[in-house]
Amino acid sequence: MAVVSPDPPLTLCNVLYLTNTTNSFRTPRSSSRCNSEAHCPWVWYSESCAEAGATPAAIGALAVLYDVTCLYPGQARSSLTAKKWASLPSDVLNTRKVPLNRNYDGGASLTNPFPRKQPLKVEGLRKSIAYLGRHFFNAAGVPTFDLDKANQLLIAKKIDGIKAPASAPAGPEGTGAVDWLYLGDAGGSQGVSLVYRVLTAGGASHGCKAKGTDSTSYTALYWFYG
């Protein structure tokens, strides 16, 4: 899910540093503009295994991104409580199906993975969450965030990462939560230059139990800076 705001309150920009008491990321440059995008997408993550017991190799990821700026606590009557905000990724993961077109074996379609661009209805929320964009790996295998509703694009590279807190939701499959990440501009981005992935729910690898490919899904909050 993503939050987009041209001039968000300072607390919204700083929320990242209040979500993990044991680990921390590098602080963004003071000149970085906070677009305050907190999106909690479902990410369909794929990896390959050369053989049983091997280390999984990432193949790519697919996700639809939704704008949840207005849900951040303390902004309006429609904002979530701090507790509900923190549980939003897990709540979405556990109550909704992955919003991707699927193929016959249950994986994401290789030719047309993304459904029609539309808001997302979430259980317990009065209003649907607005569509914002899509996340995928481009032809060169580079993580790409196409925030087409905001006319922004991030072609990303990993700068840093930390383990999710031990208390992070393990997801429906019980695999554990994927790492929190700090990604920067790999060149060619427009309007945004870095993003943080935090409050992850689920998505850790199943491990290599046999040769072949495997997929898992997770949700998270992504915070974008210009």
pLDDT digits (tens, 9 = 90+) for 10-49: 333 444 433 443 455 665 554 444 454 555 555 666 777 8
Determine, yes or no, domain membership for 28.
no
Within 10 A of 133 (CB to CB), how many other CB atoms are there? 26
> Is 46 exposed, middle or buried, given 0-12, 13-18 or 19+ CB atoms closer than 10 A?
middle
Q: Side chain identity at 44, as an amino acid letter?
A: W
Tokens matching residue 223: 């915070």
d(CA 55, CA 41): 26
Cα gap 140→85, rounded to integer Å: 35
Q: Is residue 193 part of a domain?
A: yes
Is 207 part of any domain?
yes
- Tally of domains within the chain: 1
Residue 92 located in a structural domain: yes
Q: pLDDT tens digits for 180-214?
A: 999 999 999 999 888 889 889 988 888 888 888 87
Domain that holds residue 72: 10-19+33-225
Q: Does a structural domain hold residue 105?
A: yes
- Give a three-class secondary structure readout of 3-53: CCCCCCCHHHHHHHHHCCCCCCCCCCCCCCCECCCCECCEEEEEEEECCCC
CA gap 157, 186 in Å, rounded: 5
Domain annotation covers residue 4: no
Top-confidence residue, 220 or 110: 220
Q: What is the pTM assigned to this prediction?
A: 0.81
